[in-house]
Structure 1
């Protein structure tokens, strides 16, 4: 069983799941924006391409105001935080030139923000995933020139599965740069929120859609041989890897019995590769965390909050031995 969850994080706690929105990147993706504004009825909006998110107030919140963020971190007892791109602005379907321009603007801005508070903030890079060569170039620039601590990918970058061999040069570059890769889904489908109309009810695009995409990401990384081809790759999947812990026994049985499993996968078993993935612990309750610990182990779990989001777990850090382990693991993952 995991340690109990308490309301204040242990000293030195590191949060690896915290998105940022930058005023400096508004309009950096050309006609796709992003654009922050206020509608006629007074509600704030955030436009990304043809999609408009209404009612989320980014301005003056921890997403955009670093002083508000640092004060909220202090209140939660979070010592350091990894800032990451907003999943709304992955821009996987933009023309390459626009995606490159946005990634460069975003990375310049986020790296500069983190550099002003080096003892509190770290930054991870946006990539123009439409073009793998450009993604490799931007990852190298972000890490070597801007000092960013990792890179971010969607669960299906530009419509590819994570085991698509076209992404192998990017994975090779990430290993070469010696930084972690973070995988987090986007709530946007080809027509805005997911094309499955059932997911447009009750926020199910966020509640179930994210878990669905994260589970598919775990399957692609393990079943698709990514970790076999890139043994030095450190990849962290958000929200505990979706439903993968719950399905791990079924996944293991499939490896033993289904014809698509590679020989290496059969020889080593599902758990061997599954336990090579890092997961953040933003899973909301102790029973879910217990399940994640039981199946994924503790060695590659890190504390994550979706800081300042509607479902923020900023005050849900485990205490005791598990809390200490999460911080030690994050120190290792981020090469601190």
Structure 2
């Protein structure tokens, strides 16, 4: 279906005037590592067969980006840091970012594709993104896309991406191929990620089963991005903790975008539920919600000092990392915390990424 005036962040958190957000007073932080930056690759156009993706220009002159039957209008990828690496590096210099981790466009997780097409797209995308990062090894790192609808194929691609292509992490949707993150069918993938000794990054897609969000109330005021992402990220935290993923895979390092959605705000209720509700496992009840919650990594792309303080208070600082959604409409490239926290976020990121 075509969505004529899609919200400005229906792409990888992008807007029609996507560009770096280097506001006044955004002083550089030596060695700053940004773990939340999406890329769009010309080389992967058409790699998913009939599903695209496809970049083009509408008759009225607006750019569009087609993913399957969904058409995103008005977001400028070409000629922006999403696609032009020289613009990206210049913008990184302007905002004091030393190293950036590139990740797939959340529009192109392609969780509903036939497995053969999903494998082809993942291989093409990973080859292209790894080559882009490899051309600038001192500045750019890359995370892998996986054909997660076929878990054995996803495991094989994860191994290829890390061992052969040098990618530093794996990217997953909050509900990969329609599964919850605690679905035991994903356990072989988590085991492979631990074996490969790389982090897993979890970031939602703005698309529902038929393009825009399934809940029509989220199609107004960019609520798919403002509330829908937080909803999905909170569900991801619940699945990881309540669903026993971290209990079953104690060596798994998983980082959830945007501070984990509303999980910090809800952490008291989550902890009370673990104490009171019958579904809590014996280990979860014995160790408590916070024990597992503080094992998750979170990026600090939350836009507000009080929100960051709440995140620090509940999640701690040991697993917080700096993330920007670089070049998107809500880019936080100018929001690097000052003082001790800036150094802590950088040290944490280097630890998470095994740098």
Same fold (TM over 0.5): yes
Smaller-chain TM-score range? over 0.9
TM-score (norm 1): 0.98
1:43-54 superposed matches below 5 A:
43-54=62-73
Counterpart check, 1:241 vs 2:260 = yes
Q: Distance in 1 between the 2:25 and 2:298 partners?
A: 20
1:205 corresponds in structure 2 to 224
Aligned position for 2:139: 120
| Partner SS state of residue 225, structure 2 | helix
Q: Are residue 96 (structure 1) and residue 142 (structure 2) matched? A: no
Offset at residue 195 of structure 1 (A)? 1.1
Q: 1:182 maps to which residue?
A: 201
Please give the alpha-carbon distance, in whole angstroms, between the structure 2 residues aligned to 1:194 and 1:308: 23
Deviation digits for residues 48-69 of structure 1 (CA, Å, limit 9, x no counterpart): 0000010000001000000000
- Provide the C-alpha distance between the structure 1 equivalents of 2:264 and 2:285, rounded to a whole number of angstroms: 19
Q: Deviations over 1:60-100 (max 9, x none)?
A: 10000000000000000000000000000000000000000
Alignment equivalent of 2:307, drawn from 288, 294, 308? 288
1:150·1:179 contact (CA, 8 Å) conserved in 2? yes
Question: Aligned pair 1:131/2:163, yes or no?
Answer: no
Q: How far apart in 1 are the matches of 2:212 and 2:259? A: 22
The answer to whether the Cα contact below 8 Å between 1:9 and 1:319 also exists between their aligned partners in 2 is no
1:159 and 2:178 matched? yes
CA RMSD of aligned residues (A): 0.8
What number of residue pairs does the alignment pair up? Answer: 332
Distance 2:137 2:213 in 1: 37
Question: Does structure 2 conserve the Cα–Cα contact (< 8 Å) formed by 1:183 and 1:238?
Answer: yes
**What are the Cα deviations for residues 267-319 of structure 1, in whole angstroms up to 9, with x where unaligned?**
00000000000000000010100000000000000000000001000010001
- Please give the alpha-carbon distance, in whole angstroms, between the structure 1 residues aligned to 2:312 and 2:28: 19
Deviations for 1:135-163, whole angstroms, at most 9, x for unmatched residues?
Answer: 00000000000000000000000000000
Equivalent residues in 2 for 1:1-336, closer than 5 Å: 7-336=26-355
DSSP-derived class of the 1:266 partner: helix
Q: Unaligned regions of 5+ residues in structure 1, if any?
A: none
Runs of 4+ residues deviating >3 angstroms: none
Q: What SS class does the counterpart of residue 208 from structure 1 fall into?
A: helix
Counterpart CA distance in 2 for 1:319 and 1:108 is: 36
Q: Are the aligned partners of 1:96 and 1:128 in contact in 2 as well (CA < 8 Å)?
A: yes
Give secondary structure in 2 for the equivalent of 1:259.
coil
- Name stretches of at least 5 consecutive residues in structure 2 with no aligned partner: 1-23
Q: TM-score scaled by structure 2?
A: 0.93
SS in 2 for 1:47: strand
Distance apart, 1:9 and its partner CA:
3.7
